Structure 1
């Protein structure tokens, strides 16, 4: 194992990070990659739990089983709280993101985080009197990857220059991963854009595109996250085409205020269900017309974008829907439904 810094690579002038090169074997010429995005709801919101909205300890097992059940190779997580002050509300970790990683691996997974530090400080677990040290910490946005399949090449965190004063700082978490079997590399990112100010949200989205473009080089791009934006948001008329023009469009092929005549994904499951469920069991309250003869996509605010050249084999909104009653079954894991896609790297 050797170490490198991102400042020395073709990613450009970006945050330095220490990583493993993970030299690959050479067996395949292409690979299917299962990717996802999941806003898991911060543990700090536990006091608001009631009815079908459960505390983290009760939701954790369902989140773990959904990630493992989908066999995700890499997943972007939002609202994975980085503070250690909520340790008493956790099961097996000092922070929510460590609790999730530990739970996944205890259940048979092989997941690693691109950064285990809470803060970019000399004292990684506290922001009090912080003396800066880059640790690729990205707030409550985290990336989990299957280290048996993928090797970490570079990693980093980008704090958006546009922020809402007094609110949670918004970040882009990014990593370059390499498929161990083929040697193919790709850039994966996740983010949670500001929910309070539309002008700031649009600025952050523009910041994200510029940052990704400065890092991607010739690598395929997969950009995930909670964008707090649906295809019906007025500014989606600008931002969705901006993503496609930058080279990485929506994996469903959605357009502003319309359902596509044909979907980019070759097959879909529950694509008509919105990604935001609000802890409501009745799927009919947040889904599109699943019986339509034309392709239908829900009014989701979470997105998976991928390089336009990448085939999208499958897309799924992961929701335990009873098709007869149109109700969610079991413990509702979050107020967001996980989304996942299967992509083919060339």
Structure 2
């Protein structure tokens, strides 16, 4: 069976690194292929498949004219129509930006809970890897870092009265490295006696289990803080939280809203929908709590990525609410979208989850890796994004692997 040649091909949107095309749909067409080249004779062309009559071509050169054609194809790539005539479109010139001044350094880091030891190759217990976690954070000295799985449970072999939680241990060790990191909320449990959950009489203490925010008291001031419990599927599920704070950057006097979360990780039936509901609850909570309409930075382990089926629901909810992923790491695509805001990308091709594998996971050499962990922002400049890993020239971790997740770090400029 043959199909009509698609008509009406045009470039409907342009950026410095991408061109978006649309064309008239062909009735019954299974799929389409776009052929694109910087040369009018179509030499050196690249090819892209699309399921509908629109598509974005990424990773193009700025200020460059490209020629494109479209045809109908089968689901597995067989030709069903001739190519259309070529149309020309030009990418925009790369923007010239001034250097960011008074940058705000932020990070997200799942440090893996002390009592979650799996005995994986290269995995050490918390006592064996905590100094590596501290060194990773100190290497970037973020003004604010949201951590996940820094458990409120007492560490084993800790003899001081009242015990010591994992997040308290982390804060103390950071402080001993000469940086005055403080917890926005140091409560362990939402109980009248927050030190232990035993015989708990409920009281909202702003506790958020292992989801904690640490801030550098030398560079930012704490204005307010709290936590919001997120929906869960059954009473026996571990409660997930949005830990939140309003902070003020000392160098500019500007305030901002910072959120930190870890969504449920279960792959069982109903939990895809739960993660979507939990993210919707986060969006609603920020809208309710951010009464001053401050710039927003939300970080965390969303336990969903661009290859999750049927979709990366938490990502879609955040972007749908107007928040920006600086990497433009959209569904089933490694190339940054036209909406990516990171001006400098460092090791963004590495995955945020490493599984304690000695060889650091990377999907590609230049695009975006696979991320469970995110830094979402409201509209603001993002001068730098980095996946923070200590690796050798062969891509192997050097020394102790700090956690099964890599820290992600960004430098932003508050509007």
CA distance in 2 between partners of 1:329 and 1:240 (Å): 32
For the aligned residues, what is the CA RMSD? 2.1
Partner of 1:44: 115
Partner of 2:296: 221
Q: How does 1:1-346 map to 2 (within 5 A)?
A: 31-46=102-117, 48-84=118-154, 86-88=155-157, 94-196=164-266, 197-217=271-291, 218-234=293-309, 236=311, 238-258=313-333, 259-261=335-337, 263-283=340-360, 286-290=361-365, 292=366, 296-307=367-378, 309-323=379-393, 325-346=394-415
CA distance in 2 between partners of 1:58 and 1:237 (Å): 34
- Cα offset, 1:322, TM superposition: 1.3
Partner of 1:21: none
CA distance in 2 between partners of 1:121 and 1:42 (Å): 21
CA distance in 2 between partners of 1:148 and 1:87 (Å): 32
- Cα offset, 1:30, TM superposition: 6.2
Asked whether the 8 Å contact 1:68–1:104 carries over to 2, the reply is yes
CA distance in 2 between partners of 1:182 and 1:40 (Å): 30
Q: Which has the higher contact order (CA 8 A, sep 6+)?
A: 1
The 1:30/1:50 distance shift into structure 2, 3 A limit, reads closer
The 1:57/1:257 distance shift into structure 2, 3 A limit, reads same
Unaligned runs of 5+ in 1: 1-28
Cα deviation code 1:39-96 (max 9, x no counterpart): 00100123x3353000111111111011011011000000011012x242699x7000
The structure richer in helix per residue is 1
- Cα offset, 1:137, TM superposition: 0.4
The 1:132/1:165 distance shift into structure 2, 3 A limit, reads closer
Partner of 1:23: none
The 1:163/1:127 distance shift into structure 2, 3 A limit, reads farther
Q: TM-score, normalised by structure 1?
A: 0.84
Name which of structure 1's ranges 246-255 and 183-192 shifts more when overlaid on structure 2.
246-255
Asked whether the 8 Å contact 1:87–1:95 carries over to 2, the reply is no
CA distance in 2 between partners of 1:222 and 1:90 (Å): 38
Larger radius of gyration: 2
CA distance in 2 between partners of 1:124 and 1:299 (Å): 37
Asked whether the 8 Å contact 2:302–2:314 carries over to 1, the reply is no
